[in-house]
C-alpha cells in the first residue's frame, strides 16, 4: 500500500484543478499533488467546453467587469453570492489574457483583436472562443503544458479519492482508490482542494463526461462541510437529440446559434419561443432556463418532434454562410448523415452544469478548516441559473484563489493531526470490496436506474410526489450498497470503481432531491409544477449538510 504526504492535495484535474495546482505552487507549496480518477487534464468538463468564455475584455465594444457582474446577477434570479460573482467577473479578464499569453489561440478579428460574441443574457459582445468547438481542448492543453513545467506539482491519473479524513473537525488528508492496482492509497495533506466538477452524470440525459458523478459533493458532505444551492441544476436547452451523432459533444449547437441564430421549431415546424415572451427576431437571446422551460412545455403538450424534443433549423441560411460558420464541423456532420442546408435536427434539454456546490467564502474556504473548493464544485457564484460563458472563467479564477489560499493555510499549519488509524475504516472498505463479493445486483445497473430516476423526478420539471418517490428509492439504493456484487480481480476492476461512484452519486443525488423538495417555488433552473410561481419569500439560499446522525439534511 502507498502512503503519501503533501502540502496541498487537489482532487480533480480539469481547468479548476490544474489552475489551482499552478497557483498553490507559485504561492510556495513545495509538494502539490494533483489527482484525477480519469486522466489529468483530459477528463472532466473543461475539455468539453465548446465555445464561449465570458470576460469583460472590451475588445469589440467598451466593457466593464461591473457590467458582466450585473448580467451574472440578473441571470442568477436573485440568488447569486455577490462576493463570488464579483470575484469571477473582476478576475476573468486577467485570467483569459493570461491563457492567450500561454498559448491559447483565441479567435481574432482581421484587426487582430480577440473576437467576442454576444451570448444570451449578456448585455454586449463578451464571449471569446477558440474555433471550431475547440475552446475547452485548447484551454486544457495550455494548462497541461503549464503544470508539466512546475517541479512542485506531482500528477497522478486513475486515482479516485473516496473519503476525506478529518481530525478535530478539520480535514487532514484523504484515502484514494488506486484503480490500476485495486488498492487503497493514503494521502496526508495540510490542505485539500476539491475540483471535481459537477454532478450532471447522475441525470439520464446529460452532456457530462464519465467522471461528473458528483464525487466532490459527497466528499465534502462526509467531511462535515456545507453545500449550497443544490437544487439548481442547469438543463442546457438545445442538447443534440437526433439523428444519432457521434464524435461531437451534444451541446455543440450553441456556438452556431451565437453565430447564425438558427430557428427553434415545434413538431409542426412553428416557432414557439415568442409564446413564452422571448423575441428572437434580433438573434439568439433566450436565457437557458426559459428556453428549457419552453421546450419541455411544448413536448409535454404533445407538440414535440418525433424523438421527444423540438427542431433546430438552419435551412434558411445560405450554404456559403453555413460553411464559413461551421468550418470543418460540416464534414463531421456529413459523416453523421446531417446536411444542415436541407434538414433540421432534433434538440432537447440535457443536464449540463451544476450551479450548486460546496459552500465557500471568497477565499474558497469551505465551512471546514483545511478544505477548499474551486470551479463547478464550488457553489454560489451563479445562483439559480448560470450565464453562458461563466464556467471556464469560474474554473480559472476560483482555481487561482483556492490554490493560493490552500498554500497559505498549509504553510502556516503545524504538522497536522494525520494518523493512519483515522484512515483505517476507508482502507478496510477498499480491502474488503477489492476481494470481490457475490451479489444479486450490480452497481452499474443501479447507476443506470439512478440516472433514470433523477431525470424523471428531479429533472427540468419537479413536483413533491416525484421528489418524495426519488428520495425513497435513493435511500433503498444506499441500503443496497452493502450487497452489490464486486467482480473478482483487483487490477483495473470496473465494478470496484462503480461501487464507489454509486456511493458518491447517491449522496449527491440525495442533496439535490432534498433541496428541491424543500424549495416550494419555481425559480431559474428549479421548476416545480406544483409551485409554478416565483415566491419573493424564497429569494434566499438553502444549505445542506450531514447531521451528527449521518443524515443529509437542509439546515
Partner 1 sequence: MNAKTARLRIRRGGGEGRAQYQEFSVPFEDGASVLDALLWIRSHLDASLAIRYSCINANVCKECTIAIDGVVNYACTTRLAGDRVMTLEPLPGKMQLRDLVSETRPPRERLR
Nearer to partner 1, 75 or 187 (CB): 187
Least separation in angstroms between residue 487's CB and partner 1 is 4
Closest residue by Cα to residue 166 from 546, 414, 426, 423? 423
Nearer to partner 1, 239 or 460 (CB): 239
Least separation in angstroms between residue 178's CB and partner 1 is 6
Residue 161 falls in which region: left (phi positive, over 0), alpha (psi -120 to 50) or beta: beta
Q: Is the dihedral of CA 527, 532, 536, 542 positive or negative?
A: negative
Least separation in angstroms between residue 272's CB and partner 1 is 26
Q: 470 and 457 in contact (C-beta within 8 Å)?
A: yes
Least separation in angstroms between residue 491's CB and partner 1 is 6
Q: Which positions lie near partner 1, rule CB under 8 A?
A: 2, 38-40, 42-43, 47-48, 136-137, 148, 155-159, 178, 180-181, 185, 208-211, 243-250, 336-337, 442-445, 447-448, 485, 487, 489, 491-495, 498
Cell of 88: 469571477
Cell of 266: 415545434
Q: 196 and 16 in contact (C-beta within 8 Å)?
A: no
Report the C-alpha gap between 266 and 102 in whole angstroms: 44
Q: Calculate ∠ Cα 190-196-202, nearest 5°.
A: 140
CB atoms within 10 A of CB 447: 20
Nearer to partner 1, 173 or 370 (CB): 173
Nearer to partner 1, 181 or 413 (CB): 181
Q: 166 and 77 in contact (C-beta within 8 Å)?
A: no
Nearer to partner 1, 321 or 487 (CB): 487
Active site residue 109: no
Closest residue by Cα to residue 503 from 162, 263, 260? 162
Closest residue by Cα to residue 144 from 26, 45, 29, 14? 14
**Annotated active-site residue in 263, 288, 332, 429:** 288
Instruction: Give the chain's length.
Output: 555
Q: 523 and 77 in contact (C-beta within 8 Å)?
A: yes
Nearer to partner 1, 183 or 521 (CB): 183
Least separation in angstroms between residue 372's CB and partner 1 is 23
Pairing mode, if any, of strands 310-313 and 263-265? antiparallel
Least separation in angstroms between residue 242's CB and partner 1 is 9
Nearer to partner 1, 226 or 376 (CB): 376
The H or E element containing residue 541 is none
Q: Which residues are catalytic?
A: 288
Amino acid at each position: 500500500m502507498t502512503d503519501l504526504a503533501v502540502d496541498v492535495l487537489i482532487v480533480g484535474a480539469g481547468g479548476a484543478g490544474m489552475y489551482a495546482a499552478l497557483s498553490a505552487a507559485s504561492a510556495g507549496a513545495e509538494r502539490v499533488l494533483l489527482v484525477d480518477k480519469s486522466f489529468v487534464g483530459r477528463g472532466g468538463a473543461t475539455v468539453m467546453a465548446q465555445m464561449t468564455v465570458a470576460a469583460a475584455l472590451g475588445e469589440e465594444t467598451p466593457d466593464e467587469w461591473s457590467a458582466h457582474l450585473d448580467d451574472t446577477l440578473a441571470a442568477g434570479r436573485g440568488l447569486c453570492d455577490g462576493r463570488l460573482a464579483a470575484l469571477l467577473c473582476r478576475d476573468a479578464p486577467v485570467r483569459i489574457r493570461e491563457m492567450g499569453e500561454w498559448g491559447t489561440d483565441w479567435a481574432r478579428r482581421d484587426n487582430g483583436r480577440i473576437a467576442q460574441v454576444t451570448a444570451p443574457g449578456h448585455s454586449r459582445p463578451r464571449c471569446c472562443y477558440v474555433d471550431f468547438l475547440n475552446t475547452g481542448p485548447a484551454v486544457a492543453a495550455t494548462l497541461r503544458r503549464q503544470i508539466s513545467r512546475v517541479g512542485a506539482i506531482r500528477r497522478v491519473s486513475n486515482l479516485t479519492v473516496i473519503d476525506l479524513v478529518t481530525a478535530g473537525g478539520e480535514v487532514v488528508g484523504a484515502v484514494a482508490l488506486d484503480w490500476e492496482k485495486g488498492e487503497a492509497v493514503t494521502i496526508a495533506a495540510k490542505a485539500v482542494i476539491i475540483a471535481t466538477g459537477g454532478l450532471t452524470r447522475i441525470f439520464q440525459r446529460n452532456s457530462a463526461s464519465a467522471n461528473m458523478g458528483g464525487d466532490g459533493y459527497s466528499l465534502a458532505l462526509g467531511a462535515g462541510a456545507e453545500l449550497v444551492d443544490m437544487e439548481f441544476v442547469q438543463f442546457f436547452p438545445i442538447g443534440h437529440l437526433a439523428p444519432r451523432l457521434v464524435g461531437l459533444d451534444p451541446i455543440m449547437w450553441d456556438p452556431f446559434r451565437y453565430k447564425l441564430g438558427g430557428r427553434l421549431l415545434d413538431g409542426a415546424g412553428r416557432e414557439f419561443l415568442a409564446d413564452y415572451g422571448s423575441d428572437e427576431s434580433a438573434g439568439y437571446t433566450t436565457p437557458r432556463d426559459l428556453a428549457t422551460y419552453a421546450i419541455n412545455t411544448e413536448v409535454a403538450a404533445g407538440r414535440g418532434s418525433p424523438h421527444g424534443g423540438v427542431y433546430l433549423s438552419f435551412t434558411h441560411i445560405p450554404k456559403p454562410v453555413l460553411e464559413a460558420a461551421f468550418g470543418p464541423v460540416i464534414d463531421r456532420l456529413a459523416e453523421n448523415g446531417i446536411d444542415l442546408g436541407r434538414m433540421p435536427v432534433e434538440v432537447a434539454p440535457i443536464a449540463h452544469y451544476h450551479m450548486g456546490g460546496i459552500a465557500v467564502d471568497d477565499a474558497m474556504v469551505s465551512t471546514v478548516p483545511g478544505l477548499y473548493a474551486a470551479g463547478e464544485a464550488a457553489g454560489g457564484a451563479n445562483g439559480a441559473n448560470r450565464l453562458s460563458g461563466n464556467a471556464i472563467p469560474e474554473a480559472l479564477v476560483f482555481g487561482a484563489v483556492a490554490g493560493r489560499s490552500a498554500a497559505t493555510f498549509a504553510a502556516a499549519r503545524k504538522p497536522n493531526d494525520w494518523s493512519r488509524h483515522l484512515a483505517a475504516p476507508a482502507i478496510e472498505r477498499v480491502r474488503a470490496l477489492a476481494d470481490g463479493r457475490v451479489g444479486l445486483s450490480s452497481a452499474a445497473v443501479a447507476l443506470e436506474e439512478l440516472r433514470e430516476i433523477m431525470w424523471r423526478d428531479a429533472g427540468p420539471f419537479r413536483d413533491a410526489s416525484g421528489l418524495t418517490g426519488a428520495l425513497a428509492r435513493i435511500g433503498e439504493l444506499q441500503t443496497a450498497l452493502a450487497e452489490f456484487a464486486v467482480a473478482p480481480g483487483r487490477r483495473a476492476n470496473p465494478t470496484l470503481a462503480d461501487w464507489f461512484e454509486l456511493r458518491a452519486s447517491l449522496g449527491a443525488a440525495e442533496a439535490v432531491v432534498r433541496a428541491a423538495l424543500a424549495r416550494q417555488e419555481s425559480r431559474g433552473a428549479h421548476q416545480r409544477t406544483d409551485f409554478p410561481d416565483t415566491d419573493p419569500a424564497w429569494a434566499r439560499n438553502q444549505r445542506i449538510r450531514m447531521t451528527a446522525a449521518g443524515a443529509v439534511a437542509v439546515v
